[in-house]
Amino acid sequence: MTQDLTPTPTATPFPTDLPTLARDVLAPFLVGVGVALLILLVALLLARFARTATLHALARTKADQATALLIGRVVFVAVLTIGALTALGAMGIPWTTVIALASVLGLAASLALQDVLKNFVAGIYLLVERPFRLGEEIKVKEFVGRVETVDVRTTVLRTAEGDSVMVPNAILFAEIILNRGIRPPPGSPAEPPAKGDEPSPV
pLDDT at residue 126, as a whole number: 78
Q: What is the pLDDT of residues 163-185, one digit of tens each?
A: 888 888 888 888 888 887 766 55
Say how many C-beta atoms besides its own lie within 10 A of residue 159's C-beta: 13
Does the pLDDT at position 3 exceed 60? no
pLDDT at residue 189, as a whole number: 52
pLDDT at residue 41, as a whole number: 92
28-112: CATH, from 1.10.287.1260, 3.30.70.1900, 3.40.50.450, 3.30.110.30: 1.10.287.1260
- Share above pLDDT 90 across residues of the chain, in percent, rounded to a whole number: 6
| Beta bridge partner(s), residue 69 | none
Does the pLDDT at position 14 exceed 60? no
- Whole-prediction pTM value? 0.49
Cα separations in angstroms, 69 against 42, 48, 57, 59, 146: 22, 13, 12, 10, 18
- Share above pLDDT 70 across residues of the chain, in percent, rounded to a whole number: 71
**Cβ–Cβ under 8 Å, residues 136 and 184:** no
| Beta bridge partner(s), residue 139 | 144, 178
Distance CA 26, CA 47 (A): 31
Return the higher-pLDDT residue of 64 and 193: 64
What residues does each domain of the chain span? 28-112, 131-181
| DSSP string for residues in the chain | -----PPPP-PPPPS--HHHHIIIIIHHHHHHHHHHHHHHHHHHHHHHHHHHHHHHHHHTTT--HHHHHHHHHHHHHHHHHHHHHHHHHHTT--HHHHHHHHHHHHHHHHHHTHHHHHHHHHHHHHHHH-SS-TT-EEEETTEEEEEEEE-SSEEEEE-TTS-EEEEEHHHHHHS-EEEEE-PPPTT-TTSPPPGGGPPPP-
Average pLDDT, the chain: 75
Distance CA 130, CA 136 (A): 11
Compute φ and ψ for 14, nearest 5 degrees: -60, 125
Domain made up of 131-181: CATH architecture: Roll (2.30)
Does the pLDDT at position 202 exceed 50? no
Does the pLDDT at position 199 exceed 50? no
